[in-house]
A and B are shown apart, each in its own frame.
Chain A
Amino acid sequence: ILNVEQSPQSLHVQEGDSTNFTCSFPSSNFYALHWYRWETAKSPEALFVMTLNGDEKKKGRISATLNTKEGYSYLYIKGSQPEDSATYLCASQPRSGGGADGLTFGKGTHLIIQP
């Protein structure tokens, strides 16, 4: 089983500030890195899936980068808003696993935006 680590475990950020957090994963046999946002009492929803080293994806104020050689991904939130409060999950998908059945999830980063 792969080891996917997320840091920090939780984060309090003032509204309007920018923030970022990290997902580290085994770089060997890597295929894809997934980011999901999980708001309280809702379903987790997909943010990004990245496969190539150097990939950078953006959705509104949220962006993510991927370094497959060193095995890490950063998620950035610019100008945090209260609606960004959620748990952010990353999951690594190995090449040998094939498909989403091979996903290993991290424990998540719990982000709280303070007004």
Chain B
Amino acid sequence: DGGITQSPKYLFRKEGQNVTLSCEQNLNHDAMYWYRQDPGQGLRLIYYSQIVNDFQKGDIAEGYSVSREKKESFPLTVTSAQKNPTAFYLCASSTTGGTGANVLTFGAGSRLTVL
């Protein structure tokens, strides 16, 4: 079945450590996205990529980094510079990232807790 796989589902990190969240899709979608969810807030866009080897900052990119070396993969690194990293992270993809009402397909999410 086509879909998006995020791993790990739960992750604990000590302060000062970088962690990388994995996102893989087999939908042949061009565009991929990372969102963050905090209690009482809407989903906020961290980074997005419309094509391999290219990505753009979203609304809250500070303290995060991404890469897009393969169409299927869009890992997110939460660096020690991210001041408040404890959150739920959702990866998504869409057929294209250009103009158009592109429907998002989401993964099941990764919950990161900083101890």
A101 touching B97, Cβ below 8 Å: yes
B97: A residues at CB distance < 8 A: 99-101
* B59 CB, min distance to chain A CBs, angstroms: 6
Q: Can you list 11 residue pairs at the A/B interface with Cβ under 8 Å?
A: A36-B106, A41-B108, A44-B106, A45-B106, A51-B101, A89-B42, A89-B43, A99-B31, A99-B94, A100-B31, A101-B58
Report if B96 contacts A (CB, 8 A).
yes
B101 touching A31, Cβ below 8 Å: yes
Residues of A at under 8 Å CB distance from B?
Answer: 1, 4, 31-32, 34, 36, 41-46, 49, 51, 89, 91, 93, 98-101, 103-108
A43: B residues at CB distance < 8 A: 3-4, 90, 105-109
Report if B103 contacts A (CB, 8 A).
yes
B94 touching A104, Cβ below 8 Å: no
Report if B17 contacts A (CB, 8 A).
no
A107 touching B58, Cβ below 8 Å: no
A100 touching B104, Cβ below 8 Å: yes
A104 to B43, CA, bound (A): 8
A34 touching B42, Cβ below 8 Å: no
A36 to B101, CA, bound (A): 14
A100 touching B106, Cβ below 8 Å: no
Residues of B at under 8 Å CB distance from A?
Answer: 3-4, 31, 33, 35, 40-45, 48, 50, 56, 58-59, 90, 92, 94, 96-109
A49: B residues at CB distance < 8 A: 101, 103
Would you call the interface of chain B mostly helix, strand, loop, or mixed? Answer: loop
A36 to B108, CA, bound (A): 14
B108 touching A32, Cβ below 8 Å: no
A1 to B23, CA, bound (A): 26
A51 to B105, CA, bound (A): 19
* A99 CB, min distance to chain B CBs, angstroms: 5
A104: B residues at CB distance < 8 A: 42
A74 to B85, CA, bound (A): 34
